[in-house]
Structures are given as structure tokens and as C-alpha cells.
Structure 1
Amino acid sequence: MRVISGQFGSRRLTPVPTNKTRPTTDKVKEALFNMIGPYFQNGQFLDLYAGSGGVGIEAISRGMSKAFLVDKQMAAIRTIRANVQMTKHPEQFKILKMDANQALDEFENEKIKFNFVYLDPPYKKQKMVQQLNKLNNKKLLLSNALVICETDNHVELSDNIDSYQLIQQKNYGLTVISIYKYVGDK
């Protein structure tokens, strides 16, 4: 695992030392950022199931100004902290040890809005449509924000989800990336 491109390109990342997380492969991460970027000029990025923090670190490396990295496992939080320290820019990250729904409530209370949201929950617990609805209902997305959903190839997400437009979907073997553009309430 490594940072693919940008300011921190080629730096190695430490994986979470448990079998409870499934890291996004470098191949999928590179393809993902080629689809949504590949480079940015500021903005806020949310990784709601951050694992090692690799996707959020990649976003900062490519020009996002702030990444919010959420995970409820202590092993993941320790790994995220170590990986963020490698960047030497910890001020660009906010690390939250809490469950995804609790984090969304906190962001709503603090009136934080995101340009990009990455959803990669454990495959057996995926509730993507519910979380897309929560992001909309809690008004956590900026106009035209992108929400990236990583699922296994057995999950079929609808093209038609209220307040979202599916703009791209790619299959990478066992992994499928679906990118939705936030279009707000119609």
C-alpha cells in the first residue's frame, strides 16, 4: 500500500493489522482518483470507513485541503494516526473514532459540508442507499458533490437514488466503484 500520486506520492502506508478491514488496492485507488480528479484545488473530503486512512491521504496528496477520517476500530485509528504522521501535515486531517452514523450527526451539528464522500463499509454491512439519504437529509453535501461507493461485485446499486445522479460505474473484479453526483432535492 502506498500513496499513488501528488505531494506524498510513492510514500508507503501501513495497513491495519487486523482482518476486520479490507484495504482499497492501489489499482482501485488509482482508478478511483483518475475518475474523480485526478487533482484538486482545495475542498473537504470525508472517508466514513477510513481503515488505514489511505484514500483520504491520497485526496490530500492530490490537493484537497482537509480530510475527515472516521473509523470505529481502535486498531484502525492507531494506523490512521501513524499514516497521517508520515505526511508531516497532520493539520489537514481530522481523525474521528466513532461509528459512521454518530459522525454524520456530529458533522450536521457542526454544519460541515463536503465536496467528496467515500463510502466503503464492510461488505457484509453495506447500507449505501440509507447513507446516501442521510448525507442528503443532514445537508452534508455541497452542490455537485461526488459520493463514491465501493462495493463488492454482488451489490447492485440503483441508477436512480433520490437527490443523486449516477455518473460512472466501473467493475474491478471483486470491487465495483459507483460515483454519484449530488443534485439535491428535486
Structure 2
Amino acid sequence: MRVIGGMHKGRKIKSLKGKNTRPTADIVREALFDILGGKIAGSRFLDLFAGTGAVGIEALSRGSESAIFVEKSLEACLIIKQNLENLALTEKSRIIRDDAESALKNLLKQGEEFDIIFMDPPYSKNKIEPILTILRDFEPLKSIIVIQHAEDELFNTDGFLCYKRKKYGKSMLTFLIRE
């Protein structure tokens, strides 16, 4: 796997062996960052269900001011750490080993603010709505929320405006903002 854009374009990043994670495909990452465009530079980026950290690393490579990676798996957190060290991005990043709901609640209670929140939970495991409920109840929320999910996965977006959806194979990117 490689970084596909920005100052680290072409640099290799490690991924996990096996099928416990599903790294975001290059074509999906490229489309994601094409859609976000100029919103990346200087942004504060949150990568929930981070896996290898490829999406957050891509954001940093493209000029994001900072990125927080939230991942429950110790093995995945170690891979993210190695990738950040190899690209000299540790000063702009933080890794939180926790489940996404708990970490998000804690981050918001601590006053953390994010310009972009990306989540790529395990498909069809009902992980999206609990995260959206936390974000729905948080005032003020000005983040762009991007969800990568299975094309047939349904979830309640009440309180949010869906301003874009793009399908890539069996994956879908849904872009939300607060109504």
C-alpha cells in the first residue's frame, strides 16, 4: 500500500496481514480526497476505526494540520505507529487505542474539535448509528463527516444533511454535515 498524494506521494505504508482489517482501496482514498479538495489543508482530522491509518496518513500527507487515529486493535495501532514514524509524522498525530464510541465521547468532552471526521467501521456491524448519535448530541459540531460503508448498509442520518454519496464497487462514501 502507498500514499497516493501530497508530500509523501508514492511512499509505502505497512498494512496488517490477514482479513481483520479492510484497508481503504486507493481508488476510494483518491476519490475521498478529490471530493474534500481544499478542505484538507490546515484541517484537524479524526480517523475512527483507523485500521492501518492509511486515510489519516493521506490527510497528513496532503497538508492536514493534525490527525488523531482511533483504533481498538493493538496490532493495528502498532502498524499505525510504525507508519507515522517512517513518514516522520508523529509530531502531527496521536493514536488512541480504544473503541470508537468511547474515544469520541472522551475527545469531545476534552474540547477537541475536528474539521473532518472519517469513519470506516466494519461493514454491517451497526457501528455507524452510535457514532452519529454521539455527534448529533454534541453542540456545536461543524465537522464534515465522511462514512465509508457497504453499499447496502442503511443508517439514520437525522440531524445531518447528506450532501454527497459516491459508490465504488461494494463500498460507498457518504458525506454529511450538520443541518
- Among candidates 141, 163, 171, match of residue 175 of structure 1: 171
Q: Can you give the 5+ residue segments of structure 2 that lack an aligned partner in the other structure? A: none
For normalisation by structure 1, the TM-score amounts to 0.90
- Find the aligned partners of 2:7 and 2:168 in 1 and give their Cα distance: 26
- 2:123 partner amino acid: Y
Separation (CA, whole Å) in 2 of partners of 1:38 and 1:29: 15
SS at match of 1:50: coil
| Match of residue 108 from structure 1 | 108
Greater shift, 127-136 or 47-56, is seen at: 127-136
Paired residues of 1:5 and 1:62 also in contact (CA < 8 A): yes
Matched-pair contact (CA < 8 Å) for 1:6–1:61: yes
User: Unaligned regions of 5+ residues in structure 1, if any?
Assistant: none
Alignment of 1:139-178 (within 5 A): 139=139, 141=141, 143=142, 145-157=143-155, 161-178=157-174
- Aligned match of 1:60: 60
Moved over 4 A (4+): none
Q: 1:88 and 1:39 mapped to 2: Cα distance?
A: 23
- Considering only aligned residues, what root-mean-square deviation do their CA atoms show, in Å? 1.6
1:17 Cα deviation from its structure 2 partner: 2.2
CA-CA distance at 1:39 after TM superposition: 6.0
Matched residue, 1:6: 6
TM-score where L is the length of structure 2: 0.93
| AA in 1 matched with 2:92 | Q
SS of match in other structure, 2:6: coil
Tell me, yes or no, if structure 1 residue 120 matches structure 2 residue 120. yes
> CA 1:38–1:29 in 2, change beyond 3 Å: closer, same or farther?
farther
CA deviation vs aligned residue, 1:99-126 (integer Å, no higher than 9, x gap): 1111012102211011001111111313
